[in-house]
Chain A
Amino acid sequence: MDEQEFHVSGIVKRKIKFSETCEKRFSITQKEKIFIISKKSIIKVMGMIWLQALVYFSFTVFVLAVLAKVVKYATMPIHLRWELYPVPHEKGRAEHGGSYYEEPEWWKKPRETTLLGELKEMLMEMLFIKRVFEYKRPLWWFTYPFHTGIYLILAWFVLVFIGAVFEIAGFPISAASLQQLGFLSWLPPLIYYLTWIVGVLAMALMLIFGIGLLLRRLTDEGMRSYSSPVDYFNLLFIIAVVATGIAAWQYDSDFTLARAFMKSLITFSPLPSVSSTTVLHVTLLSLLFLYLPFTKMTHFFAKYFTYHKILWEDTPNLKGSEIEEEVKKVLMYRVSWSAPHVKPGLTWAEEASKVGLNEIKVWKREE
């Protein structure tokens, strides 16, 4: 360790003695030599603690907020059946859009479903955005590469994470194969190159087609008149994150610094010294993660409910089934609608079965 670095570390160490928790979290004395902290970056290092905290915070909020939304939808009461064909799990019938209702006395026959059919349709939608391809091809040319960019950037994060784990385990990631890994010596260079290819491709796709989507939103009359400032803001936000990411990449062409950054995040140790562009990028990215769960951009989990719980949900309510139990519960909910033909204060079960025809006549005359 050279003198300058030791000196800086000492100052930092004294400063963070103020906080016991900080001391636990950031073991400054560890003898790693990957990054060099200069005198000038003392303030930056303090800023970096703030940045690191922001990353943890926004990621936690993102996960919790998405979970909360999932729980919110998952715990909503059972709804009336409202499926829409084709339902891909209808075995042998999905191709023509059929259901078990095509069978005479269907309740006497076993219900045949295929998980594979459902998975296939799901993946076609997830991986290829099939419906936009089929029904709005001009938009697909923009939205599909953009979404591919999102998938790739997620893959990039996974690759950087894997790379960081390798390095923590003592296997540095570089273009050179690593003999100490024996027959797996090719793994570090694979991760190295894959990270690069996936990362660069993702950035390019998201930037180009993010801007493309923005232009489309502005030029497509149908889309423009339904767009609010937030819709533009969302796209601009993503474009800004990607653009700063590309700028940061200029200082870290092979993502070594990104891996070091991830390593710090995993090991709860101080972040490496990075350019102010990177600081800006990470800050924006964290803010995006904080923001996402509160927007329609989290439609990735909404699709689970719309498809699996509504459009493809054709489970019949058989005697003694769980559905029947659920139905009995909701029939006890109370109705408080105010129209003359509704008798307020009754349960749904009473409203449907016990309101006599005479009573209906009464409100009709009063009207």
Chain B
Amino acid sequence: MVKEKVRIEDISKPVEQLVKITLDDLMPLPPPYDKPGEEPEVTEPNPDWKNKYVTELDGYIAIDLPWKPKTKEEEEELVKKFLSGLQKLLDKENNWTFLQPLMLSLEYCARCQTCSEACPIYVSSGRKEVYRPTYRAEVLRRIIKKYLTPGGNIKAKFMGDVELNANTVMRLAELGYRCTLCRRCTQTCPIGVDNGLITREIRKLFSLEMGISPTSVHHLGTVQHLEKGSSTGLTADGLKDIIEFIEDDIEERTGKKIKIPVDEKGADILLFHNAGEYLSWPDNIAAFAIIFEEAGLDWTLSSEIVGYDAVNYGVWYDDVQFARIALKHAEIAHKLDVNRIVVGECGHAHKAITVIADRIFVDEYAIPRESYLPLLWDIVRKKKLNLDPEKNSFPVTLHDPCNVVRLMGIVEPQRKVLQEICPQFREMHPNGVYNYCCGGGSGFAIMNSMNFPEFRAKVSTRMKFKQILEAFQDHIEPDVQKYVCAPCSNCKGAIRDILTHYNATEKCGIHYGGLVELVVNAMVDIEEPFIEMY
């Protein structure tokens, strides 16, 4: 049933499940997780799921829509739609957004496999073939050659064959969600082939042509974002309540009376937060407000629909949804007549609005956009805050969000801030642009249907967990409180989940949070610790 050595052509095979994750195969973890029995077992997929959802790949379900074809006709229809989508992916008008990088990546891979070892998912899984960065790319390449170019059947005999059937399509769709698009593989490619991009294009094909994508990314993600204002479901009224609550909380804990500016027309800065912060980590919102007020910045938040949620899930799977949200963000900034947009602690929002949307914004939409990180370093460097690093005298390590670092080149400001305010700061290895993804990238952190969280905990965040444990090996005992600084909502979510899964806060005293919280925690005039670790 489950094959040991999976080959490219096996993707079409009518077996129940192509691979199975087992504890024995997984990459070993450092102490105290180096002994058997230290982590929860792997579970079996619920047998009922098989009828509606695709469990044929590895038993995990990322796409939680009941899209599994039931009849021969439905299967044929699925293959047909897939092919028409694939054609559009290779078409100038439908895919101008990524045509050149996609074509080059499809055409020039030498299958040298230099990239494989760079992939945290492939390595963590115990090197399961299907997770290899080149696996899904090679499948797609062979399908294109065989089914979309003249003489395809003959070419397939010589250039590599794969059969396109419902199994292939189903497994390929799930495979689109076994990579966090961190693009670490691309850094190692001597030719510059981008297997991360190919994964994203696979997701895009399914979304844009067939409407197939994880609910949390699309229906509850971009659609809800555009419709209700936030992918968290937070409404504008709800937002106002939370802001009031945060203001009260700031006063209670710090004695500072701060009015958080909302919809201030003509402000210098429009600050975009991931709305997840309001609901899960309101301290982050509070810390920003305290720092910005203390530094005397002229800033505002937006309470307009879409404007109070910086996320843009479109970057992960759909160019149309991406463009809609990006334009909406720019439009809100334009209406508020601000000088610049500053993005808070949300990695993909950084990349989405500053880098990727850069080639969507023209005319009035082209408002300058930047990260909060250089601004924060500027505030700390110019001593606009009275900071005492001794208040942060506990071990701190930094997680680099891929979107901010590898994909945007912001590496030093956050380090300079930490070196200034955290005497026990230590790096993870590797770090900076060569960091490992938190495992929650590209939507994984918010995809919680069925057994997908288990894939995240066991495989995709495993490498990050290993790095965190290694960074703290000198004080791994639970009575020393330690802090993982993860300046990104999704990364924080992923790290929160893995600390929970491995019970690492209790067992090793590891806590997590953002960067601004550490800054506020070091402020001399705030008596009570802003960061609570217990």
Question: Footprint of B on A, CB under 8 Å?
Answer: 73, 76-87, 90, 93, 96-107, 125, 129-132, 134-136, 139, 143, 220-223, 225-231, 233, 296, 299, 302-303, 305-307, 309-311, 314, 316-319, 323-324, 327-328, 330-331, 333-342, 348, 351-353, 355, 357, 360-361, 364, 367
A101 and B193: CB pair below 8 A? no
Cβ contacts under 8 Å, A338 to chain B: 81, 84-85, 208-210
Interfacial residues of chain B within 355-403, with CB under 8 A of chain A in the complex: 355-356, 358-363, 366, 368, 370-371, 373-375, 377-378
- Interchain nearest-CB distance for A130 vs B (Å): 8
The verdict on B211 contacting chain A, using a C-beta distance below 8 Å, is: yes
- Interchain nearest-CB distance for B100 vs A (Å): 4
Counting residue pairs across A and B whose Cβ atoms lie within 8 Å, the total is 275
- Interchain nearest-CB distance for B119 vs A (Å): 11
B358 and A317: CB pair below 8 A? yes
Cβ contacts under 8 Å, B157 to chain A: 229
The verdict on B40 contacting chain A, using a C-beta distance below 8 Å, is: no
Cβ contacts under 8 Å, B104 to chain A: 73, 302, 305-306, 310
Question: Footprint of A on B, CB under 8 Å?
Answer: 5, 7-8, 81, 84-85, 88, 92-94, 96-101, 103-105, 107-118, 129, 132, 134, 138, 157-160, 183, 186-194, 197, 207-211, 218-219, 223, 226-227, 319-321, 323-324, 326-327, 331, 340, 354-356, 358-363, 366, 368, 370-371, 373-375, 377-378, 405-413, 432-434
Provide the bound-state CA to CA distance between A69 and B129, in Å. 33
Residue of A nearest to B404 (CB): A101
Task: Give which listed residue, B117, B190, B321, contacts A131 with CB less than 8 A.
Answer: B190
A337 and B187: CB pair below 8 A? no
Cβ contacts under 8 Å, A222 to chain B: 113, 116, 132
Cβ contacts under 8 Å, A84 to chain B: 183, 186-187, 194, 406-407
Add 17 more A-B contacts to A314-B409, A352-B323, A367-B211 (CB < 8 A): A76-B92, A78-B359, A84-B406, A87-B409, A93-B411, A100-B409, A106-B374, A107-B368, A135-B188, A136-B112, A136-B113, A306-B192, A310-B104, A327-B361, A331-B362, A341-B320, A351-B324
Cβ contacts under 8 Å, A223 to chain B: 111-113
Cβ contacts under 8 Å, A311 to chain B: 186, 192, 194
Cβ contacts under 8 Å, A323 to chain B: 359
Task: Give which listed residue, B112, B192, B360, contacts A310 with CB less than 8 A.
Answer: B192
Cβ contacts under 8 Å, B411 to chain A: 85, 93, 96-98, 102
B362 and A85: CB pair below 8 A? no
A328 and B100: CB pair below 8 A? no
Task: Give which listed residue, B138, B359, B406, contacts A97 with CB less than 8 A.
Answer: B406
Provide the bound-state CA to CA distance between A331 and B320, in Å. 11
A86 and B433: CB pair below 8 A? yes
Instruction: Given A143-B112, A296-B109, answer yes or no on A97-B405 (Cβ-Cβ < 8 Å).
Output: yes
Cβ contacts under 8 Å, B194 to chain A: 82, 84, 306, 310-311
- Interchain nearest-CB distance for A63 vs B (Å): 19
B227 and A77: CB pair below 8 A? no
